Each structure stands twice: as C-alpha cells, then as structure tokens.
Amino acid sequence: MRKVFKSTGLIAFALMMVLTACTSNNSDASKESTKPEAAKPEATKKVEEQKIVELKVFVNMPWWSLKDWSGKVPEEITKKTGVKLNVQVATDDKQLPLLIASGDLPDLVYTATDLTRMAVSNVSYPLGELFKKYAPDFNISKERIGVNTMPDGNFYTIRNAFSTEQEWKDNPKALPGVSGMTFRQDIMDKLGNPALNNLDDLTTVLGKVKAQYPDMVPLVWDKDQIGQNLRVNFGLKKSKGFVDIDGAAKYYLKDKNYLNYYLYMNNLYRKGYMTAENFTFKDAQQDDQLVLNGKAFAHGGGNADTTNPQLEKLGSAFKMTQVTKLLSDQAGIPMGGSGWAGMYITKKNKNPEASIKFLQYMYSEEGQKLGLYGIKGEDWEYNEAEKYPVMKYDFNNAEIQKKMGVVWWGLIGSSGVNEALQRYTPTSQMTKFGLAARAALKFNPALGLVATEPDTEEQVIEAQITNMVTTEELKIYLSASEADAKANYEAMMKKAEGMGLAKLETWATTKYKEYQKNFQ
C-alpha cells in the first residue's frame, strides 16, 4: 500500500487500488447504497451509560499498523456503538487457516484473504440472518449483496473499497488510486519543454535525456510498481485475474494490448532508458534514493506532492513535476471487483446482536467518515460546494494515524468513493492526475468476483502460472530485440497453456456467467 498514489495511507491501493463495481440499472438503489442506515439515535444517545461490550477481533493482516483500540476515533466509535474491540493482529498468513481449522476463532475476523474459508455457515453468521433478527433497518443495496453473495446464496460480509459506477458518477471528487509518473522540471526546461502528450512523446523525451545526460537514469521504477503507470495507459489489469473476451473470462495476459505493453517496455530497456538493475531492487527505497540524489529524470510510481518536500528538506535545487494526463486513448482502469476486506461475525461470537449493530454503524455514512476521516468539525470539514472532505491534519502521517486511531478502522465498512474522496486536494499535482484518470474507469463487477478458492485445483493452476509469469515476464522486458520479446511472450503463454490455463479459463467462464446473474 506504500506507493500507489504515494501520498495516501490507503491503497490499496494500494491498491490499490483499487476495486469497485458497477450498475447503471437502478440509480436510486446505487445512491442509497452509500448510505446504509445508522443505528437509531435513541439506541446510541446514552450508550456511555450502558455497559460496554468488549469483542475480540482478529485482524488478518500482519502489517496492520493499529495494534489496539486506542485513540480518540476508536473512543468516539465506542461512544456511538457501545462496542470496544480487543485487537489481535496476525503474525503471518498461516495463522487464520489454523484458527479456522481448530475452531478457536474470536468474535470477529477482519480479513482480505481466506474469504471462502470464512464464508461458511458453520464458521460465520450469514449477515442476512442477523439483519432479520437484530437489525431489520440495516439496509444495503442489491449491488452490495450481489458482490458479496457466496455460492450457497448467503453473504457473510460486506467488503470495503466497493462502489458502484453510479456512486463514482455522483462523487466527481473521488479519485481512483493509480500509479503516477514524475519528471525533473529543471531538466525538462533545459530540453525546451518538449511535448509530453502521448507514449511516443514519452519515448522521445527519455531519448533526449539519454543523449544529453548520459550519466543519468532516464526512467526508474518503484520496485512494487514496475510498468504500472504504462499498464494504465494501455488499459490493462495488473498481474492477476481475468478479462472479458467475447463474453468469456480469459486470463489477463490474453488482453490484446498486453503484448504491445511488453514491447513498449522492452523498447525502453533496449534503448537504455531504464536499467536491468531496476528489476533487482531489494527494497522500495532504492528508486526514491536515485530520485532524491538527482540521478534519475523520470520516476515511475512517483508522487511529486510527497517527493518535493523531501527535496526541499535536502536543499535540492530541482523539483519533480507530475505527469497529470493519460498518455494514450487506450488508457483504462479496470474496476471490476467486489471490494477488498471484510469483517466476519464468527459462530464463536458471544454477542451477535452487538456485533451486527456495530457493523451497521460502521457501514453508515457517519460511521464510515468517523473511521476514515476523524471527528467532523474537529478533524475535518465537508466542502458542500465541491463535495469533498477538507482535512485539518496530515492524514498521510502514520504517527498521527496511530495516535488518533484514524483511517484504518474506517476500512471496516467504507465505500470505495469515501476512501477515494480522501485523495482530493485542490492544490495537489496528484489530484490533477486522479481527475484525468477518472475518465478511464471501466466497470465489470461480475468479472471481479471470479477468483480461485483455497485448496482447489484452480488455485493450484493459477499459482503455478503466476510464479512462472514472474520469471518469464522479466525475460520479455530484457529481450535483446523486438523479435525476441515477441518470442518470449509466446513462449510464456505456451507454458501457461501447458500448466492447465484452458481448464482454468473454462472454470472462470462458468463462474463469470453465474455471477452475471447477480446483477441482472
């Protein structure tokens, strides 16, 4: 989550960024879906006087930064809900499967993985069952039910980071998490500020840098975002999943533009505009150091808003400028997805009523914004004219987040657009790029639901292909000629077929057609 949009603590975009879904058939339901009803005022106005319910939650993310339920934001959530969480953060990715197998689960589990293991009726409560019994006024949209419904017909969680196409349209300041690119403005000035409107222009500019500044690396990539800005410009998915080709779910590398992307990257390498060493960086700081030391011209994955303050602190005589436009009419950001992580109420839960009402509050507009942004009026204000939250603190500062207990707990129930609205800052260069990127959003929620399940033949096939691609992709990038790059791409796809790709795609297409019914 570190450098997708490099200025935001959320990713995920890292990552993310990234996973939303669409519907254009029922705009009223879509608008309603961002505002599930909060707990009634009479149920919460005197919660301070009630006995606090303590629930144990297992956060299945070893990197999770908030290790306990402390800070003014969790305290405020407890005042609103009467619930306090006792937090246990996973030590590794094997801990949750062991807890499931042993039956030794806490009250709640928050996870972005092992979703199918948790979504079983003898492990977790179906939420629809709890709605009927304890929270009949907990309303969510048909789309959210659709993207969380499992093969047994139940939904066991409502994952965060999901918003419909209509919700994105209704929130024009919500910015998708995308990987950016920056360049040294002083050198661009010395080159006469050549045009940078498309991918051919980018190649030309890098060539001028190579010719006039031979000791400088024309383009360096963040190790976790190699090629990602260019993938956006070619309209591609990154490193996972399936694409729709003639109504069937095909492996993402079969997108017709993937070969063009590989050839473009290989061309940059063969011309010396990026180095082989970039692909062997051991940590995500090596690219930053090259930029901060003035040894790189362009930075793939770079964010001028966060880099320039560092350069100023170092006393550097130059600044970085963000590329704030898409460089291709083929650009696209696939938003087919069902969300990221979800909270599960386990069958070991000692107070399902308090738990479902806690989730009802966290999914409400008030709860989402309290968890994500902080206390309204004190930590942020809403700009009614422009429709975005104006922060009164540095919400990207990890230490401030930890002290306040803010941002991360908001992910329990936040929508994609409420997370994305945090990225909007009128004076930010990255905001300008985010606004341009909005035009490239492409929605297909049913396709985003197609994912292999643990301990299945399909997952084994996919894992083997993924590992193979990691090695073979590097060969394409570093090919000695365009002909070799094409041959290496074809060899990679042939190996994938030999590992059972056709069988995986047959399974995926069947699932895709099943999931499409959820949105009809």
The CATH number given to whatever domain includes residue 43 is 3.40.190.10
Residue 175 lies in a domain: no
Which CA distances in Å does 56 have to 89, 130, 212, 355, 418? 11, 19, 61, 11, 26
Residue 188 lies in a domain: yes
| Distance, CA of 242 to CA of 506 (rounded, Å) | 12
Residue-range definition of the domain harbouring residue 286: 181-334
Q: Domain boundary residue among 438, 471, 486?
A: 438
Are 83 and 224 in the same domain?
A: no
Are 115 and 22 in the same domain?
A: yes
Are 106 and 17 in the same domain?
A: yes
Residue 2 lies in a domain: no
Nearest alpha-carbon partner for 76 in 360, 421, 410, 414: 410
Q: Domain boundary residue among 310, 334, 358?
A: 334
Residue 176 lies in a domain: no
| Distance, CA of 77 to CA of 122 (rounded, Å) | 29
Are 37 and 155 in the same domain?
A: yes
Residue 1 lies in a domain: no
In the block, tokens 């918003």 appear at: 163
- Residue 72: Cβ-neighbour burial (10 angstroms; 0-12, 13-18, 19+): middle
| Distance, CA of 34 to CA of 333 (rounded, Å) | 22
Element spanning 182, H or E = strand 181-184
Residue 103, phi-psi category: left (phi > 0), alpha (psi -120 to 50), beta (remainder): left
Q: Domain boundary residue among 416, 438, 460?
A: 438
Number of domains in the chain: 3
Identify residue 126 by its one-letter amino acid code. P
Are 400 and 257 in the same domain?
A: no
Are 189 and 305 in the same domain?
A: yes
Are 225 and 101 in the same domain?
A: no
Are 326 and 352 in the same domain?
A: no
Nearest alpha-carbon partner for 357 in 342, 345, 348: 345
Residue 59 lies in a domain: yes
Residue 170 structure tokens: 């209704």
Residue 6 lies in a domain: no
Are 432 and 456 in the same domain?
A: no
Residue 491 structure tokens: 């060899």
Are 23 and 144 in the same domain?
A: yes
Residue 431 structure tokens: 């905001």
pLDDT in tens, the chain (520 residues): 333 333 333 333 333 333 333 333 333 333 334 444 444 444 444 544 568 999 999 999 999 999 999 999 999 999 999 999 999 999 999 999 999 999 999 999 999 999 989 999 999 999 999 999 999 999 998 889 988 988 899 999 999 999 988 999 999 999 998 999 999 999 999 999 999 999 999 999 999 999 999 999 999 999 999 999 999 999 998 778 999 999 999 999 999 999 999 999 999 999 999 999 999 998 888 999 999 999 999 999 999 999 999 999 999 999 999 999 999 999 999 886 778 999 999 999 999 999 999 999 999 999 999 999 999 999 999 999 999 999 999 887 889 999 999 999 999 999 999 999 999 999 999 999 999 999 999 999 889 889 888 789 999 999 999 999 999 999 999 999 999 999 999 999 999 999 999 999 999 999 999 988 877 7
Residue 7 lies in a domain: no
Identify residue 346 by its one-letter amino acid code. T
Are 21 and 147 in the same domain?
A: yes
Are 458 and 410 in the same domain?
A: no
| Distance, CA of 327 to CA of 397 (rounded, Å) | 31
